[in-house]
Amino acid sequence: ACPSPQQVPAGSKAPFFLGTATASYQVEGAFKEGGRGESIWDVFSHTPGKTFEGQDGDVAVDFYHRYKDDIALMQTLGLRNFRFSLSWMRILPNGTGTVNQEGVAFYNKLIDTLKAACIEPHITLYHWDFPQALYERYGSWIDPRVVVDFAAYAETAFELFGDRVKNWFTLNEPESYCLLGYGSGVHAPGRCTDRSRCSAGEAGEDLKCIYYSALAHASAVKVFRQLVPDGVIAMTNAIGMSVPYNASSQEDVAAAQRNQAFNGGFVLDPLYTGDWGAERKQVHGQQLPAFTPEQKALLLENQQDFIALQHYTSNYAYYNKDKPPLLVDTTTKSIDGVQLVQADSPWLYVFPSAMRDLLNWLTQRYNQSILITENGVSAPGEYDKPRAEVLCDQFRVSYFQQYISNATVAVQQDGVQLLGYFAWSLLDNFEWADGYSKRFGTIYIDYNSTGLDRYYKGSSMWLSNHFGLTGIRSGPVANSTSSTGG
């Protein structure tokens, strides 16, 4: 028997457990194997001009074939928790209908190998790879049929794996896939109103997407309570913190609070109140699809077990008298003129103290415990640098060290209830529109080697040490053909 994977080991410097995370399209590859159906990300990445250098997830980091080796790497680091997502199209190639037994067999092997290694599986049902067959029928998250189809897929997954897997997530970051996939069009399915940039779409689809995502989530939670009564479930949400630019300005403080409620409450307000937040109503008005009394009841009666927070970056917010109050300006330069350090990804600035502020804001607004399901960084220049330099990823170590210590202070001094922490990501992987040019992994992939060889970066060893995990090998060691080591 395995000791509890969520118990904090003696010697840990953090009062919460550690895991690492991945997502199906970003790591699996094997896009035409095992009876897998097509997804919107296959189509999008194969469309010229959509991703960095036209890169795609056809092979990705070949996790589909190499998962045993990767589990062995996790074991060596002492990792006891692993979050991954199911490819909807491996289980239901057309999104609905007949179950593909080969896809089920793959996830059964993955789950059973993890369990044998005393690593707890945490499953995300949907991490952005929507079945193309359903997209062609009704356009995915902008149509009510998605609520029924997602709940049916969720039911299938709970029935198949719920006997062994007790930790579940419904949808990964609706605020990301709705705004990027239906607002700006830079992610699949590439819809937006600007026809010069997108092939399809109309105004308001990003809001419809959030609306149907919230309803699909609640419908899946409802099924979950019947089928996996001893499990826990949540949606994951990408949330940053708006910090007042000038803390002694009442106007900046108020502007930052409005911006925080507007962004941080976008999806969580509907989940916890059954309705849009006041800030959203003010800004979007009639564009917001209204929740009916039945839908409100569905949301309120099927609440998640905790907040699953994905946090990478934050900014300063300030009052601008020339703008409507809810269109708040932000900056990455402090009032003292200090510029926040930029990661390799242009949207990601390092702002560690905002982690503590955010955990407190969420606790005050929703009074829930929190699980950090993603936190991580791409380090400047990692794409081009020689391997030896990338492995010595002091930038990422420093990021983790500062963010985790701020989370630790939030627990120990502010009373935030933090359940655990998943670093993004276990492995370098397909970073969506950025292709392989951004490396979020704590384990390096040599994309030039035929075996897609893995190497520990310093950050994986730092995490293992910080959480008191090095040397822990509680389970039977999985068969490994891996020759990588650190």
> How many binding residues for ligand PNW (CB under 6 A)?
15
CA–CA gap between residue 163 and residue 480 (Å, rounded): 26
φ, ψ for residue 370, nearest 5 deg: -130, 140
Known catalytic residue: 374?
Answer: yes
321 is a contact residue toward ligand PNW (CB under 6 A): no
172 is a contact residue toward ligand PNW (CB under 6 A): yes
Cα distances (angstroms) measured from residue 424 to each of 312, 384, 414, 427: 10, 21, 25, 8
- From the candidates 173, 175, 279, 431, which is the catalytic residue? 173
Specify the stretch interacting with ligand PNW by CB under 6 A; choose among 159-167, 171-179, 288-296, 364-372: 171-179
Cβ-contact 475, 71 below 8 angstroms: no
CA–CA gap between residue 72 and residue 365 (Å, rounded): 40
349 is a contact residue toward ligand PNW (CB under 6 A): no
Q: From the CB of 383, what's the least distance to ligand PNW, in Å?
A: 14
**Strand 232-238, strand 167-172: pairing:** parallel
Among 34, 103, 183, 240, binds ligand PNW (CB under 6 A): 240
Among 76, 219, 310, 363, binds ligand PNW (CB under 6 A): 310
313 is a contact residue toward ligand PNW (CB under 6 A): yes
Which residues are CB-neighbours of 395 under 8 A, at least 6 positions away? 343, 377, 379, 380
Specify the stretch interacting with ligand PNW by CB under 6 A; choose among 10-18, 263-271, 305-313, 454-462: 305-313
Among 176, 184, 353, 360, binds ligand PNW (CB under 6 A): 176
124 is a contact residue toward ligand PNW (CB under 6 A): no
- Residue 461 burial by Cβ neighbours in a 10 Å radius (0-12, 13-18, 19+): middle
206 is a contact residue toward ligand PNW (CB under 6 A): no
Which residues are CB-neighbours of 273 under 8 A, at least 6 positions away? 299, 300
Q: From the CB of 52, what's the least distance to ligand PNW, in Å?
A: 13
Q: From the CB of 370, what's the least distance to ligand PNW, in Å?
A: 16
What residues numbered 397-426 form the site for ligand PNW, per CB under 6 A? 424
Cβ-contact 421, 405 below 8 angstroms: no
Specify the stretch interacting with ligand PNW by CB under 6 A; choose among 45-53, 307-315, 317-325, 464-472: 307-315
CA–CA gap between residue 211 and residue 286 (Å, rounded): 14
Cβ-contact 256, 244 below 8 angstroms: yes
Cα 223 off chain centre by: 22
Q: From the CB of 61, what's the least distance to ligand PNW, in Å?
A: 13
CA–CA gap between residue 60 and residue 435 (Å, rounded): 9
- From the candidates 28, 120, 155, 374, which is the catalytic residue? 374
Among 440, 455, 462, 467, binds ligand PNW (CB under 6 A): 440
Q: From the CB of 411, what's the least distance to ligand PNW, in Å?
A: 22
Computed on alpha carbons and rounded to an integer, the radius of gyration of the chain in Å comes to 21
Among 321, 336, 347, 386, binds ligand PNW (CB under 6 A): 347
445 is a contact residue toward ligand PNW (CB under 6 A): no
24 is a contact residue toward ligand PNW (CB under 6 A): no
**Strand 443-445, strand 454-456: pairing:** antiparallel
Cβ-contact 291, 270 below 8 angstroms: yes
Question: Token digits for 153?
Answer: 């897929």
Specify the stretch interacting with ligand PNW by CB under 6 A; choose among 248-256, 297-305, 309-317, 464-472: 309-317
Residue 3 region by backbone torsions, left for phi larger than 0, else alpha for psi between -120 and 50, else beta = beta
Specify the stretch interacting with ligand PNW by CB under 6 A; choose among 170-178, 269-277, 291-299, 362-370: 170-178
Closer to ligand PNW by CB, 104 or 390: give it. 390
CA–CA gap between residue 82 and residue 391 (Å, rounded): 22
Q: From the CB of 439, what's the least distance to ligand PNW, in Å?
A: 11
316 is a contact residue toward ligand PNW (CB under 6 A): no
Question: Token digits for 195?
Answer: 């026809």
φ, ψ for residue 163, nearest 5 deg: -70, -35
Known catalytic residue: 173?
Answer: yes
From residue 45 to residue 84, what is the string marking binding to ligand PNW with x (rule CB under 6 A)?
----------------------------------------
Element at 324 (helix H, strand E):
none
Question: Token digits for 240?
Answer: 């940053």
Closer to ligand PNW by CB, 238 or 418: give it. 238
Secondary structure string (H, E, C) spanning 159-183: HHHCCCCCEEEEEECHHHHHHHHHC
Q: From the CB of 347, what's the least distance to ligand PNW, in Å?
A: 5
Residue facing ligand PNW at closest CB distance? 238
Closer to ligand PNW by CB, 72 or 268: give it. 268
CA–CA gap between residue 142 and residue 109 (Å, rounded): 34
441 is a contact residue toward ligand PNW (CB under 6 A): no
Among 165, 243, 431, 435, binds ligand PNW (CB under 6 A): 431
Q: Which of 408, 310, 358 is nearest to 83 (CA)?
A: 310
SS3 24: helix
From residue 373 to residue 402, what is the string marking binding to ligand PNW with x (rule CB under 6 A)?
-x----------------------------
Residues in contact with ligand PNW by CB under 6 A are: 23, 26, 172-173, 176, 238, 240, 310, 312-313, 347, 374, 424, 431, 440
| Residues labelled catalytic | 173, 374
